[in-house]
Amino acid sequence: MPRPAAAAAAPPARKVPLRKLLRAASVACGVQFGWALQLSLLTPYVQELGIPHAFASLVWLCGPLSGLLVQPLVGHLSDRIAPAASPLGRRRPFIAAGAASIAAAVLTVGFSADIGRLFGDDITPGTTRLGAICVYLVGFWLLDVGNNATQGPCRAFLADLTENDPRRTRIANAYFSLFMALGNILGYATGAYSGWYWIFPFTVTPSCSISCANLKSAFLLDIIILVITTYITVASVQEPQSFGGDEAEHPGTEQEAFLWELFGSFRYFTLPVWMVLIVTALTWIGWFPFILFDTDWMGREIYRGSPDNPEATQSYHDGVRMGSFGLMLNSVLLGFTSVVLEKLCRKWGAGLVWGVSNILMALCFVAMLVITYVAKNMDYPPSGVPPTGIVIASLVVFTILGAPLAITYSIPYAMAASRVENLGLGQGLAMGILNLAIVIPQVIVSLGSGPWDQLFGGGNAPAFAVAAGASFIGGLVAILGLPRARIGSSRRRGGAHNR
């Protein structure tokens, strides 16, 4: 007996409107607000707590190490949860839990000096505060766990909502980058303002100076923005009930242990997947020294300050705030680039766009080396304020770097989502695998940049030289090894594989 026509074929699912994809990506603003504060203010802050510059990069090691397992683990778990198992589906519970972890972490980091005093820290300027450092490290580790637990599932959530349509996936990732840019602008603008302690006077305590109180106040603002944006994302759209990439998973993976599934999935990778991972790794070897030492470079090399010298502390903090302002300008260009990125990829191809952006990164890092040399050999006025031309040149470099940063935040994820989905792996696992190509270089840079800089006199220039070399090589590999066609353009609709 033939089946009724109604049962012969399921009706096609309605595509999620782009406006809902926009709302679903909004949590990136709240997460990135805190990340911007972390990038601009925390390296100077740990040196205030008494950690020498040579070891400041080691503090960041706990972040990549936690991310090495957290994002793949969260991606794996969210891939395995049935959409009907939770009222929020399978991705959104992890997004909400990650945001809660971030809120707890920024409170711990912001109040680390006060908590350290309760543990008996000597709060005399210039002393090492072991209690505060331990509390800070716990908060920093928790902060990175929360960042990974939020961003990984959110990227996979967007890929689920776009049903692996290459164009819509690129648009969704561009939305995500746009909100990251907005979060960066707000975060860096907050870090550049020095008067938050007037608005939140209770943050100034005997153990927390004005610069510390500004940091604490900024993190309180971060919690407010994070709560708002997380709610918008979680309430924006219902998750789909079926996922094309997940039904095609390899037999038996449901019974495999997580680590075996993660590393065992490497055997399925095609050359295009490996090329994406290689370029991603080289790109982040380039980015991470800048992320670690951007505002520190402005405070030390440009403003000739020092966080551990009372006579040069004010100059250092002036430089840090100017660096935060430069990063805000960077984020403005990042947002503009995110808007036009889809058109650039359609016109030139994602591989070429990514490669050119990496070469632009390399040129910017070389420019920072030149600026460092010029500033070192220039006579400053008696006031100690750096010449205007040096400051403007530094800000221009910071600003230009916003364009390749937007591409780094978007194209690798879109490429990984398209290529790994074609292999039949879940999107959560795909984001976790890409995360390995991000955090392993961060571990290498965290271990090596401080001693490497110290070997050549203690400045930031040696790490930036390595960043320039890695970025340039990554750009060449992207141009020569990645296709210039649009991301996923050769993939046939209906689940056909593009081997």
For helices 411-422 and 166-192, give the axis angle rounded to 10 degrees.
150
> What pLDDT is stored for residue 240 in this prediction?
67
Alpha helices (runs of H) in 49-111, residue ranges in sequence order? 53-59, 62-80, 92-110
> What pLDDT is stored for residue 262 in this prediction?
60
The pLDDT of residue 281 is above 90:
yes
> What pLDDT is stored for residue 165 in this prediction?
74
Determine phi and psi for 208, rounding to 5 degrees.
-130, 105
E strand segments, 289-403: none
The pLDDT of residue 466 is above 80:
yes
Q: What is the rounded distance in angstroms from the CA atom of residue 412 to the CA atom of residue 434?
A: 8
The pLDDT of residue 6 is above 70:
no
H or E stretch at 499: none
Residue 208's DSSP bridge partners are 205
What is the share, in percent, of the chain residues with pLDDT greater than 90? Answer: 24
The amino acid present at 490, given as its one-letter code, is S
Q: What is the rounded distance in angstroms from the CA atom of residue 139 to the CA atom of residue 131?
A: 13
Contact 416, 275 (CB under 8 A): no
Contacts 24+ apart (CB under 8 A), 224-227: 225/29, 225/30, 225/33, 225/183, 225/186, 226/30, 226/31, 226/33, 226/34, 226/99, 226/102, 226/103, 227/30, 227/99, 227/103
Task: Name the band, by pLDDT with cuts 50, 70 and 90, for residue 92.
Answer: confident
Least confident of 213-227, 244-258, 405-419, 437-451: 244-258
Instruction: Choose between 42 and 10: higher pLDDT.
Output: 42
> What pLDDT is stored for residue 373 in this prediction?
93
Task: Name the band, by pLDDT with cuts 50, 70 and 90, for residue 355.
Answer: very high
And the tokens for 370?
A: 């030149």
* pLDDT tens figures, 418-448: 776 666 666 666 666 777 788 888 888 877 7
- How big is the chain by its Cα radius of gyration, in Å? 23
And the tokens for 304?
A: 């000739």
Asked whether the whole model's pTM tops 0.85, one would answer no
Q: What is the mean pLDDT of residues 303-307?
A: 86
**Biggest distance spanned by C-alpha atoms of the chain:** 96
Instruction: Choose between 165 and 195: higher pLDDT.
Output: 195
Instruction: Choose between 339 and 361: higher pLDDT.
Output: 361
> What pLDDT is stored for residue 160 in this prediction?
81
* pLDDT tens figures, 117-141: 888 888 777 677 888 888 988 888 8
The pLDDT of residue 72 is above 50:
yes
> What pLDDT is stored for residue 335 in this prediction?
84
Q: What is the mean pLDDT of residues 463-474?
A: 94
Least confident of 5-9, 70-74, 87-91, 402-406: 5-9
Task: Name the band, by pLDDT with cuts 50, 70 and 90, for residue 396.
Answer: very high
Q: What is the mean pLDDT of residues 468-489?
A: 80
H or E stretch at 268: none
Contacts of 288 (CB under 8 A, 6+ apart): 441, 442, 445, 446, 449, 467
The pLDDT of residue 167 is above 90:
no
And the tokens for 451?
A: 């001693």
